[in-house]
Copies of this chain bind each other. A is one copy, B any other.
């Protein structure tokens, strides 16, 4: 097929963006080509996006893939809508060989052409951000604005960041080299060498329910940009955002003259467990996974033929030692606990507070006062139902709801969760966070007697523990133990003491966790910005990779050398 999108056109259109991305990951200053504000997408974008989403409902999303043997899908929005979209179900014995067959031409295209195609895919996804926002909202349960931003521009940023890392990693070795080794008085030895980035094989993306695009795009684009084919196995409750992504990718690949089977969807029947089947197929050489620790560890143990990148669960800690902005600290923490009803892998879970209280610009505050004031800050933040619904999210699965109910049995409830009625979606279950007081005294945990303590296992959802500690030094010790044994995507700390700051930093550097210090304004511990912040460290049990760095891309391809006499 003749390409309707030529390499020259794509380079002219996207090379400047790639160059800006390369500069951003080098300086790590603020940058994004994807606007956050819904109005930036044009007058008609909101209505068009809503209409496009509505038109998808109850229909087949035909991707024209090889080896489709059934139509599946039974998504119900956490806000109550039945989506009714049907997706192709793959005969993997047909689809996987078709994907492998597509790879040589993609390899031959080279790193720049692949990057340009990836940027065109992202650019078309960006143009449909409103439509994607509805798809993300009605699969993840995120409120519209969060679905728009995190599922749209922020996810696209993370995808573009991965393309930039993948590109630079591939071109650090030149295409060719002339090698001439002196031999004293004899003629030198001369060789011509040719270096080619070659893909590992088919890359499997195992998507998650809560952030299908944000957590999915880095692996998808890193693998595609390095020459691999990518098979997308979405979470069965969050198929639509990734199915739309696959559709756009296939459309662009075909227009650029490549085989669209380079990107394909693997939707599954209820209870099929397709991820397990696919993960150990010999064709699958890379796996990107976000989800439970149990399945992540299963993949690491069993998918030995593949490079496995996992983001699992962790226990995020905030050390509260002292502050010169008590009001700002409470507001910042209240927002962090509330956003998307705490259903983020980055939401703080354990708030470690000295039993004897903390020094603040508003005077000394006892442990009880801090907890009460934080509860008050959350109540003020979420007092208005409209504002609460804009900030919270719909509960993504019944287990989260059960954890909220179980929280009262764990300790004294300092702030109870309430259900917030949603004017547009009466079927939605939107919940505010619960805060539970716990004891975490040194005597209890230093000998391992608290191995079963609630603060030492992830309680995914809007449940946080205000843990009373003997001292801030004890809090840092517990932080250290928590990161080492349970992992953490984020650590926060509030302190005006240089000594406590030093202790917390040392703990994070030695146990390998990302630290946010004294956040009191509009940046929250649970948010990271592509091109500047690393998401996860890859060095503690919560995740074996970070988004995004060299290690995330460097082993997705290999370099083959052909040398011959010059």
- Interface on A for B, CB 8 Å cutoff? 26-30, 104, 107, 169, 172-174, 177-183, 189, 191, 193, 195-196, 198, 200, 300-301, 304, 505-506, 508-510, 512-523, 529, 532-534, 537-539, 546, 549-551, 554-555, 558-565
B193, B517, B554: the one within 8 Å of A563 (CB): B517
Give min CB distance, A307 to chain B, whole Å.
9
B532 close to A546 (CB less than 8 A): no
Alpha-carbon distance A26/B196, docked complex (angstroms) = 14
Q: A28-B179, A179-B532, A523-B565 are in contact. List 18 more A-B contacts (CB 8 A).
A: A26-B174, A30-B180, A181-B529, A193-B533, A198-B510, A505-B562, A508-B560, A517-B564, A537-B559, A537-B560, A539-B558, A550-B550, A550-B554, A551-B551, A551-B555, A551-B558, A554-B554, A554-B555
Summarize A's interface: helix, strand, loop or mixed.
mixed
| Closest B residue by C-beta to A537 | B558
B509 close to A198 (CB less than 8 A): yes
A563 close to B104 (CB less than 8 A): no
B510 close to A104 (CB less than 8 A): yes
Alpha-carbon distance A510/B27, docked complex (angstroms) = 36
B183, B549, B564: the one within 8 Å of A518 (CB): B564
Collect the chain B residues with CB atoms within 8 Å of residue A519's CB.
Answer: 564-565
Collect the chain B residues with CB atoms within 8 Å of residue A517's CB.
Answer: 562-564
Collect the chain B residues with CB atoms within 8 Å of residue A539's CB.
Answer: 198, 200, 558, 560
B529 close to A29 (CB less than 8 A): no
B532 close to A177 (CB less than 8 A): yes
Collect the chain B residues with CB atoms within 8 Å of residue A506's CB.
Answer: 104
Q: A28-B173, A30-B180, A181-B30 are in contact. Are A508 and B562 (CB under 8 A)?
A: yes
B550 close to A515 (CB less than 8 A): no
Q: A173-B549, A189-B522, A200-B539 are in contact. Are A533 and B565 (CB under 8 A)?
A: no
B169, B180, B558: the one within 8 Å of A546 (CB): B558
Q: Which 10 A-B pairs have the closest CB atoms?
A: A539-B558, A551-B554, A28-B177, A517-B564, A550-B554, A551-B555, A554-B554, A515-B562, A30-B181, A30-B179
Give min CB distance, A71 to chain B, whole Å.
34
B564 close to A179 (CB less than 8 A): no
Collect the chain B residues with CB atoms within 8 Å of residue A510's CB.
Answer: 104, 198
Collect the chain B residues with CB atoms within 8 Å of residue A27's CB.
Answer: 174, 177
B30, B300, B514, B520: the one within 8 Å of A561 (CB): B514
Collect the chain B residues with CB atoms within 8 Å of residue A300's CB.
Answer: 304
Alpha-carbon distance A535/B195, docked complex (angstroms) = 13
Collect the chain B residues with CB atoms within 8 Å of residue A533's CB.
Answer: 193, 561, 563
A177 close to B523 (CB less than 8 A): no
